[in-house]
Amino acid sequence: MAGSHSDVWAQRVGEVFDVRPRVAIDDLTGWIERREEKKFRDAVVSPGMHVCLYGPSGSGKTSLAKSTIGRLHRRGFKFIYSKLNHNSTWSKFKSQIVENKNAIDPTRPFSYKIGIKNLIPYLEIETHSDSDFAGAADARSGIIDLIDIRHIANYLNDYEIGLAIDDLNFADDELLENLTSLAKEITDNSSSDRTKIIFIGADDVFLRIMELADSLRDRTEEIALGSIRGDDGNASTIRDDKVWNYIADGLVQLKLTDPRKDKYFPKDQIISAKRWIEYAADGLPKSIVMLGRRIAEKGERRNRVSYSDMMDSAKEMVNRNFRLYRSRYRTLFYLIKKNPIADQVCAWMFKNGASRIHTLEEISEDLNEVATYSMFDEAIKFLSDAKFLVVSGAENNVFFARDPLLAHTIGVALENPSIIGVAQNYFSKDGNAQQMLLRFVGNKDPESRDSLL
């Protein structure tokens, strides 16, 4: 029995606006180009360098990595992709790298031979009288245990294979230490330009790698990935166009009227729609895709989506975000009051894009009249200890929101509380706290800095 029209439409929309990591290696997959994409690709093909792609959750790291790897595969590059989770161990990681293909006679000693098929590595067993592996024939786990860092490094080097390790933030210290040792072993013994490790993870994974293996500092390209933005870094112009075009292209793919050419969609409405898309998604790929899906769903049994459809979808997402995080707002605000510069850091982040990657040099230069470099450094560390910010980078100078959607939603709520239907004093109980909250708005402060708190 065929599915209902609603089911069919939901399936079509889900295929176009797919919230899973997107692998853009064909013309049918919607994709938003990013300035970090070329830098990441150049780093992957650069001889003798490992790569670490890191940033907040939801920034599109997996999609970018898989897409780049897929495109390079067409050029003859070979990669093994490994994804970690909460239960990952060094033994389980090795099991992902090798696969026993042959039955083993436990009565005979054996040696191993590493092979490759369809880019998937495997372990073949051969009889050999002088083998070091005797006694492990009846236990696959025994074989895995006998494989060490040197074996894996030699295998990758011999076959000129790159290793991509995703969700590295789930690795415990023991696993991460083994992986950094593997990277050093590859570097020290590789004769191939293509053998390397691509580390992919959220939060401070790059800093963790550097703390464990300082020798990799000059051998690892760091690429921090935040929200989508324009080439000029202006969060209110080019980035909006990229997101707007992505959503519009998806609607066209669903055979709905292109809103960029819709005579019932005047320019002033497009500007307003873009603004609300920013309020809802703030350039975060997962949020953008989800918003595109919500907008497209309203086009069922029609040939277009309207301005009202877009506005309603964006407002629904903004309000959902507010409901999701509202219990954490007041706690964060009162925490920020404990540090005299922390509120300035947050205000600057919201003004420049709460979901973006920021550096200590940028904020200290922009606000040099407010505080010194060391004062900003101390405030950022304070917010990091409070689990609001993540600090990473080779020089501990890169910072971003641990939960970028939380940071963005706070900024939206403070800039215009009426958006979420609450009074201006919703978050405060006293005048001083209210003044502190208003300072998040940046250039809209009602009073001078000296008169506040």
Predicted pLDDT at 27: 60
Sorting pLDDT into bands at 50, 70 and 90, what band is 222?
very high
Give the C-alpha distances (Å, rounded to integers) separating 371 from 144, 318, 353, 446: 55, 33, 21, 20
User: Tens digit of pLDDT for each residue in 322-369?
Assistant: 888 877 777 777 777 788 888 889 888 888 888 899 999 999 999 999
**Computed over its alpha carbons, how large is the radius of gyration of the chain?**
26
Spatial distance between the Cα atoms of 81 and 287, rounded to a whole number of angstroms: 25
User: Tens digit of pLDDT for each residue in 387-446?
Assistant: 899 999 988 999 999 999 888 887 777 777 777 766 666 555 444 444 444 444 333 333
CB 188 within 8 A of CB 221: no
- HSE at residue 56, side-chain half, CA atoms within 13 A, is 30
Give the C-alpha distances (Å, rounded to integers) separating 174 from 64, 73, 86, 169, 189: 27, 31, 13, 13, 23
| Domain 337-451: assigned CATH number | 1.10.10.10
Instruction: Tell the residue number behind the tokens 């947050």, with chain if given.
Output: 346
Spatial distance between the Cα atoms of 353 and 226, rounded to a whole number of angstroms: 10
CATH class of 35-88+149-224: alpha beta
Predicted pLDDT at 291: 96
Predicted pLDDT at 106: 34
Torsion of CA 174, 175, 181, 182, to 10 degrees: 160
Question: What pTM, to 2 d.p., does this model score?
Answer: 0.81
Ramachandran category for residue 32: left, alpha or beta (phi over 0 → left; psi -120 to 50 → alpha): beta
Closest CA to 249 of 10, 17, 6, 12: 17
Per-domain residue ranges for the chain? Answer: 35-88+149-224, 99-146, 234-320, 337-451
Predicted pLDDT at 401: 93
Secondary structure element (H or E) that encloses residue 50, with its range: strand 50-55
Paired with 392 in beta bridges are 398
User: Tens digit of pLDDT for each residue in 127-147?
Assistant: 444 444 444 444 456 667 778
CB 227 within 8 A of CB 49: no
Taking residues 267-280, report their average pLDDT. Answer: 90
Instruction: Tell the residue number behind the tokens 């590789």, with chain if given.
Output: 190
Lowest mean pLDDT among 58-62, 73-77, 292-296, 328-332: 328-332
Give Dmax over CA atoms of the chain in angstroms. Answer: 85
Taking residues 214-240, report their average pLDDT. Answer: 73
User: Tens digit of pLDDT for each residue in 251-266?
Assistant: 999 999 999 999 999 9
pLDDT averaged over every residue in the chain: 80
